[in-house]
Structure 1
Amino acid sequence: MPEQPVLAGVDGSEGSVKAAYWAAAEASRRNAGLQLLIVNDDPARADHAEQAVRKIAAKCRVHTPEVVVTAEVATGHPVEELVRRSARAQLVVLGARGHGGFADALLGGVSTGVATHAACPVIVVRKNIPTTVGPVVVGVDESPCSQQALRFAYAAAARLHAELVILQVWHEEGLLAVPLAPGDRDRVQHEIEQALVKQTAPLREQYPQVATREVVQRGHPVSVLTDSARDARLLVVGHRGSGGFDGLFLGSVAAGVLHHATCPVAVVRDAEGTG
């Protein structure tokens, strides 16, 4: 919703500043405001926190003058506060790891915790500068949360004027206890490819301007997703909202993607989920 802001959790580090820039650009694409937030649990650092968040806000206003930027310092636990505020945001953006004045506030565990429990989609931006070329990649299966992720990915690709790569990963361990014979493997591959085309057909019609490529690949989900998204602008995965991950996207897979992907990662919860 346009009246809801993009919320960026920052900590004063260089990595969180890059995440804030990404959030500001995304707010511009969404015609939304940007809310910068530092969660500080040490009263002795209150002045430092205020100075840090104001400095980042000033930089964002220079980079994206069309975006209304607000800045705030809140007290409390970073995960709890960011999750609470996610209910009033259309998107939460976080740095993957902090290395500055409030480095302890946005460590990887905080980003993962917020991505797992937030009421809105969460994007985790790595330290390296995100690419401005390349596709949006979305990992899908046949679960409801996968459909939410797919819709999010189509909308993101449309805003970025990017190609969308829809990737479904499978491996025998998810189907049978023993490896498939080559002929059976080909049959399963073909069946998944046909199901994927059917699954994506309505959104291809809804977003005719988005060039779409569907890929079904056998392998380990973390390695295939991260390899496929190496040069991507965004990697999107789905989340159930109850703390677990549906289908192929078990908690360990999502955590692996968040840890290993070099591009920004969006975690999209199932709208039907609880939390």
Structure 2
Amino acid sequence: MSDGRTVVGFDGTTAAWRALDWALDRVEQRGGTLEIVTALDTRLGAAVFGPHTDLSETVESGLREAENHAGSRAPGVPVSARWVDGPPSGALIRAARDAALLVVGTDRRTDGTGPRIGSLPLRLAAKAHGAVAVVPDPGPLDTRPVERNVVVVGVDRSSFARSALALAVEEASWLDADVVAVHAWDVPESFQRAIDEGRKADPEFEAAEARVIPDAVADVPIAREARIRPVVVRRNPASALVDQARDAALLVVGTRGRGAVAASILGSISHDVLLNLPCPVIVTPAEYRYVVPGTDDDMI
């Protein structure tokens, strides 16, 4: 169960400032606290600048600037700031243990241009104990028709997808948005020739694929009364999700969860989505928990 914190990984870059603003706006609307965390690898600093170098004052100055910015932008949000020692991925994961959300930014643009996403968001999404949001550079928004009243979520038969659906519905409720639930299925390349020759998939198989979204909705109590638009397509799942979320407020996908082996595996769909960010993306583990509206009960 989370402690209500949203943690922002902050290193002073443009991407970090963008992630901070996104997180501030989110917490200001929904409540909770915001923690700004900088990972300072003191061993690397000693190797670069000498064994007696103390970079803490420089880091703390940047954190004070971020904290002051947060107070000006969202004065009602309780904000704290600190630095933690260690390489960024491990240090941020430890800092965000039990947090509601870990947020990081990237200079990758939603139109597919800009720098590569880098390894940090991928590592955090794969190994963090809770949900991770990756905030891209939206680019010139005035040239794109952004449909802010849509949250897109990937749905399959797994428990990870049910966690993602629960989070997507929760996010959509705050945005007064519809949920576009996407189930995409594809066939191996070796089957494609048979389809090209005119062979049809078994109707029972297609009917089973069409039931994936209704079955997931039935399994997730918070989703049963939500405004959900089902989309079922035969296509590469990551490509289908990216296209559906191109003008959305948010895209939610599941990962493979935690464990000695699973923690190192993000999952090919989530991985490919993060390489082609169409909008802010939240990756949630199978253990994501949400509060049932109108009750004090939390459920998976």
**Shared fold per TM-score greater than 0.5:** yes
1:183 paired to 2:200: yes
Say whether residues 1:86 and 2:96 are aligned partners.
yes
Of the three residues 246, 253, 262, the one matched with 1:237 is 253
Would you say the 8 A contact 1:134–1:231 is kept in 2? no
1:155 alignment counterpart? 170
1:74 alignment partner in structure 2: 84
Q: Which residue of 2 aligns with 1:103?
A: none
Deviations 1:147-173 (A, max 9, x none): 111111111111121111000110012
SS of the counterpart of 2:91?
A: helix
Q: Distance in 1 between matches of 2:243 and 2:202?
A: 22
SS in 1 for 2:200: helix
Cα-to-partner distance string for 1:58-77 (whole Å, 9 max, x where unaligned) = 22222221110111122211
Shift of 1:31: 1.2
Measured at CA, do residues 151 and 133 of structure 1 come closer, stay the same or move farther in structure 2, by a change above 3 Å? same
Task: State the partner residue of 1:12.
Answer: 12
Would you say 1:271 and 2:287 are equivalent positions? yes
Contact 1:38 1:53 in 2 (8 A): yes
The superposition leaves residues 132-189 of structure 1 with CA deviations (integer Å, 9 ceiling, x where unpaired) of 814110001101111111111111111121111000110012xx95236453166533
1:31 paired with 2:31, answer: yes
What is the CA distance between 1:38 and its match in structure 2?
A: 0.7
Residue deviations 1:209-264 (CA, integer Å, cap 9, x gap) = x421011111112211111110111111111224559xxx9733222111101311
Q: Matches of 1:112 and 1:133 in 2, distance apart? A: 25
CA contact (8 A) 1:135 1:163 kept: yes
Out of 31-40 and 190-199, give the one that drifted further.
190-199
Q: Would the aligned equivalents of 1:96 and 1:126 in 2 still touch at CA under 8 Å?
A: yes
- Tell me the amino acid that sits aligned with residue 235 of structure 1: L
Match for 1:251: what amino acid?
G
Supply the distance in 2 between the matched residues of 1:236 and 1:157 (Cα, whole angstroms). Answer: 11
User: Quick check: 1:97–1:108 contact (8 Å CA) kept in 2?
Assistant: no
Aligned to 2:187: 172
CA distance in 2, matches of 1:140, 1:92: 22
- Report how far residue 6 of structure 1 moved: 0.4
Distance 1:204 1:164, change over 3 A: farther
Name the CA distance, whole Å, in 1 between partners of 2:282 and 2:190: 32
CA gap of 1:264–1:61, structure 2 versus 1, over 3 A, is same
Tell me, in whole angstroms, the C-alpha distance in 1 between the residues paired with 2:203 and 2:232: 11
SS of alignment partner, residue 96 of structure 1:
strand
Assess, with a 3 A threshold, how the Cα gap between structure 1 residues 77 and 132 changes in structure 2: closer, same or farther: farther
Deviation at residue 205 of structure 1 after TM alignment: 6.5
Q: Which is greater in Rg?
A: 2
Is this contact kept in 2: 1:2–1:32, CA < 8 A? no
Normalized against structure 1, the TM-score is what? 0.84
The equivalent residue for 1:228 is: 244
Report the 3-state secondary structure (helix = DSSP H, G, I; strand = E; otherwise coil) of the residue aligned with 2:148: coil
**Counterpart contact for 2:163–2:286, Cα < 8 Å:** yes
The size of the alignment, in residue pairs, is 258
Higher strand share: 2
Closer, same or farther: CA 24–268 of 1 in aligned 2, 3 Å: same
Percent identity between matched residues is 29
User: 2:294 is matched with which residue?
Assistant: none
C-alpha RMSD of the superposition = 2.7
Q: Could you tell me whether the CA contact under 8 Å between 1:154 and 1:203 is conserved in 2?
A: no
The answer (yes or no) to whether the contact 1:95–1:124 under 8 Å persists in 2 is yes
Alpha-carbon contact 2:40-2:83 (below 8 Å) kept? yes
Q: Please list every run of 5 or more consecutive structure 2 residues that lacks an aligned counterpart in the other structure.
A: 46-52, 109-116, 289-300
Task: Tell me the alpha carbon deviations over residues 26-49 of structure 1, each in whole angstroms, 9 at most, x when there is no partner.
Answer: 222331000001111235543332
Distance 1:27 1:186 in 2: 46
Q: Does 2:199 correspond to 1:199?
A: no
Post-superposition Cα deviations, 1:99-148, rounded to whole Å, max 9, x if no partner, equal: xxxxxxxx721111011111110000012278681411000110111111
SS at match of 2:119: helix
